[in-house]
Every structure is written in C-alpha cells, then in structure tokens.
Amino acid sequence: MPKVIPGGYELADMQACTLPEPVDAGFKEVVQHLKGVDYTPVLYVGQQVVAGMNYMIICRQKPVVLDPLEHLVEFVINRAHTTGDWSLVSIERIV
C-alpha cells in the first residue's frame, strides 16, 4: 500500500498504458538514463510540433526507496527533427 501523508492524495490503482510507436521507443530510451525513480506511463496525452516533436505522457513516479511517496507527473520528451535523437524536456509533478 502506498504511503499517504495528511492532505495528500491517495493515488488510484492505475494500469500502465500502451504508448504508440515511436513514442514508446523514445520513452524507454530516455528513462533508461534516469536513476533512482521508476516511471510508469498511465496516459498518453499527445504531441506538439516544435523544433522537432514534443510528446506528453502522464506517468506514475515511484522513487526506488523504502516506503516511497508516489506522484503523478507530466513527462515530456522530444524527438529532434534533424537527427531523430530523443531527449527529456521536463518532468513536472501534478499530484
């Protein structure tokens, strides 16, 4: 059972979602470099045309520690237009 703090939300039991290709590959490439925290995609939000393409995913964030406090985060990755390389744009806590 996830740890709950007074005034905090107890997160619902959300199932992992399936990301469309190539977003799934990009997500996996980016998160392999993030240590100490697990990210589970629960909602694929969509894409945004910028210098390349941004993809927004709502993820369940779970630190890899004893009794972790879990959060929902807005996870944005980018695929560069010129090279096709994937990069992390931002991770912002929602709840």
Model confidence at 1: pLDDT above 90: no
Amino acid letter, residue 91: I
User: What was the pLDDT predicted at 78?
Assistant: 98
Do 42 and 17 meet the contact criterion of CB atoms below 8 Å apart? Answer: yes
Burial code of 36-60, b = ≥16 C-beta within 10 A, e = fewer? ebebbbbebeeeeeeebbbbbbbbb
Return all residues near 87 (Cβ < 8 A) that are at least 6 apart.
30, 77, 78, 80
Do 39 and 69 meet the contact criterion of CB atoms below 8 Å apart? Answer: no
Considering only residues 19 and 9, tell me which one the structure prediction assigns the higher pLDDT: 19
Considering only residues 88 and 2, tell me which one the structure prediction assigns the higher pLDDT: 88
pLDDT tens for residues 25-35? Answer: 999 999 999 99
Q: What percent of the chain has pLDDT over 70?
A: 95
Q: Sorting pLDDT into bands at 50, 70 and 90, what band is 2?
A: low
